Structure 1
Amino acid sequence: MQLDRALNAYLRHVTIERGLSEHSIAAYRRDLNGYLDWLAEQEVSETGEITPAVVAAFIADRSAADPPPAATSLARLQSSVRGWHRFLAREGIEQDDPTGRLRPPKTPRRLPKALTIEQVERLLGAPSPEDPLGIRDRALLELLYATGARVSEAVSLDVDDLAYGDVLRLRGKGDKERIVPVGSYARAAVDAYLTRVRPQLAAKGRATARLFLGARGAPLSRQSAWLVIRAAAEHAEITSEVSPHTLRHSFATHLLQGGADVRVVQELLGHASVATTQIYTHVSVDTLRDIYITSHPRAR
């Protein structure tokens, strides 16, 4: 099959059958377009011409780039290429998968960056309670920290997703749903936003069921939510980097430090594997070590 046709078939597959997010699909498209451009330079025009040696040469070429790519970027690129070729073999478009023996590069295991509880409190208190958008921002920040939701999950919430009282329905990767508790602080902040601010914002735009709205009444975007977090961090004078995932990392870390079971945290975060969640246990080891040193009579 011609390369462009094969790529379009795969992108339709991940969009319709796997239900991946627009962000994930854009990443696949970006990686694989780069792969196809490289194949074109090698005068490869059809999928049947791609051999394990061709794939290995592509990975070697990308690894030798100046400056060299980060291990995580190279691993993601390999994953995209492998997923495409597996799809072609599974669908019978090609007989063999040339990436069968391709091994992902080892990536350094980075501990997620979490804020302290005091920093979180400053961050949550940063938006102005006198400003309508400040009330909205406080509701968004409180909800992110209370539930561990991804930013994409938070901005995709509908008002009806709050109809469960003290729990919330989240739609995660692959459109999988999970129910998570909502603490009293977050619920109060969201209720204040719903009664005092959202009706005003909704009147400015077209009717939408989305919970969080922008200044003009349209659904709040991921980029706008990121700006809310960054502005709150600056106002709170937090000097460490605060990313869209920071409150999610802090949520998991603080739960484990408080004694929560790792499998409970896995369920709350929506991780398919507990191994993904266990990276947070390494953060909590620091707390355990401090307690041990100060409490055990022969620790020092």
Structure 2
Amino acid sequence: MLLSQAWETYESDKRIEGFSPQTLKAYKLQSGLLIRFFNDVQLDTITTDQLKAYLAKASESLKPASLAHRIRFMKSLFRWSREEGHILKNPATKIKEPKTGKRIPKFLTEMEIEHLREACCSPMEKALFEFMFSTGCRIGEVVTLDRGRINWSNRSAVIRGKSDKEREVYFNIRCEIWLKRYLDSRVDRDPAIFVTERDPHQLRHSYATHLLNNGAPLDVIQSLLGHEKSETTRIYAQLSGSIRQEFYRKYF
């Protein structure tokens, strides 16, 4: 089986399994890079040493996190190929991801949030800003949100997160006002709440930081953000300088 044929079959299988469109889009890019390096060769001719050479070349320009993403795709593709019987031996089995240090997510200060809020002009911009900030949703969760998923009576929305898992998020009165103004200004029948290509992911980090600064427990923040692992949420514990100063003054 050619490398290009393996990718096409792999993509179809993973779409059926429920892989997100974002993941498949990213993996398609990785498959293109793999084919460009090896040419469209037979899958079973690729060796472990060749894969290591491919990664060594990539490591010259990629950060460890990007290299790790490339390796995850590669291991997934060849593991699937072995399970499906397209190859007898998986050449990516012993290839390991590079160690990556956990980076503190960037976030906006309350002053920057207010400046950004003032910079929003149209009803859509204001509604999008308030919804992102008051719910802490991921970008992919917002762009797939439909009007029918909004519960106006308790200012909540049911969103579909990673691995197609659903959770309920909540928004404040200011967000409700701008959402209604924005939707009232729409003349189309598109069920989607927002139609935008912007990606203000810092609002999600700012949302978590705001909760932390106001005393919310980490397990509560984990639930609201939809994190599967508590370790992911604990990153935000490093963000709040004001809380650290408060405890320093209290106990030192």
Which residue does 1:39 correspond to in 2?
38
1:255 aligns with 2:251: no
1:137 aligns with 2:125: yes
Which residue does 1:59 correspond to in 2?
55
Aligned match of 2:231 in 266, 272, 275?
Answer: 275
> C-alpha displacement at 1:117, in angstroms?
1.9
- Structure 1 distance, partners of 2:79, 2:220, is 33
- What amino acid does structure 1 have at the position aligned with 2:193? L
Which residue does 2:116 correspond to in 1?
123
Pick which of 49-58 and 250-259 moved more. 49-58
Consecutive unaligned residues of structure 1, counting only runs of 5 or more, are 129-133, 213-219, 227-243
| Corresponding residue SS for 1:62 | helix
Which residue does 1:189 correspond to in 2?
178
Which residue does 2:7 correspond to in 1?
7
Aligned match of 2:65 in 48, 65, 72?
Answer: 72
- What amino acid does structure 2 have at the position aligned with 1:169? V
- Structure 2 distance, partners of 1:190, 1:31, is 38
> C-alpha displacement at 1:80, in angstroms?
1.3
- Structure 1 distance, partners of 2:89, 2:216, is 46
CA-to-aligned-CA distance 1:166-189 (integer Å, 9 cap, x gap): 211111223321111222221222
1:177 aligns with 2:132: no
Give the length in aligned residue pairs: 251
- What amino acid does structure 2 have at the position aligned with 1:259? G
Question: If the length of structure 2 is used for normalisation, what is the TM-score?
Answer: 0.91
Consecutive unaligned residues of structure 2, counting only runs of 5 or more, are none
> C-alpha displacement at 1:164, in angstroms?
5.4
Which residue does 1:241 correspond to in 2?
none
Aligned match of 1:50 in 23, 46, 52?
Answer: 46
- Structure 2 distance, partners of 1:144, 1:176, is 19
CA-to-aligned-CA distance 1:18-50 (integer Å, 9 cap, x gap): 2312x322211111211122122xxx7212122
Which residue does 2:26 correspond to in 1?
27
| Corresponding residue SS for 1:125 | helix
Which residue does 1:105 correspond to in 2?
98
- Structure 2 distance, partners of 1:50, 1:251, is 46
1:86 aligns with 2:69: no
Aligned match of 1:210 in 175, 184, 192?
Answer: 192
CA-to-aligned-CA distance 1:168-217 (integer Å, 9 cap, x gap): 1111223321111222221222122233x12xx42xxxx321122xxxxx
Structure-2 change in CA distance of 1:156 and 1:86 (3 Å): same
Identity between Structure 1 and Structure 2 (%)? 31
- Structure 1 distance, partners of 2:248, 2:233, is 26
- What amino acid does structure 1 have at the position aligned with 2:85? G
Which residue does 2:150 correspond to in 1?
162
Pick which of 96-105 and 247-256 moved more. 96-105
Question: If the length of structure 1 is used for normalisation, what is the TM-score?
Answer: 0.77
- Compute the RMSD of aligned alpha carbons: 1.9
| Corresponding residue SS for 2:239 | helix
| Corresponding residue SS for 1:178 | strand
1:266 aligns with 2:248: no
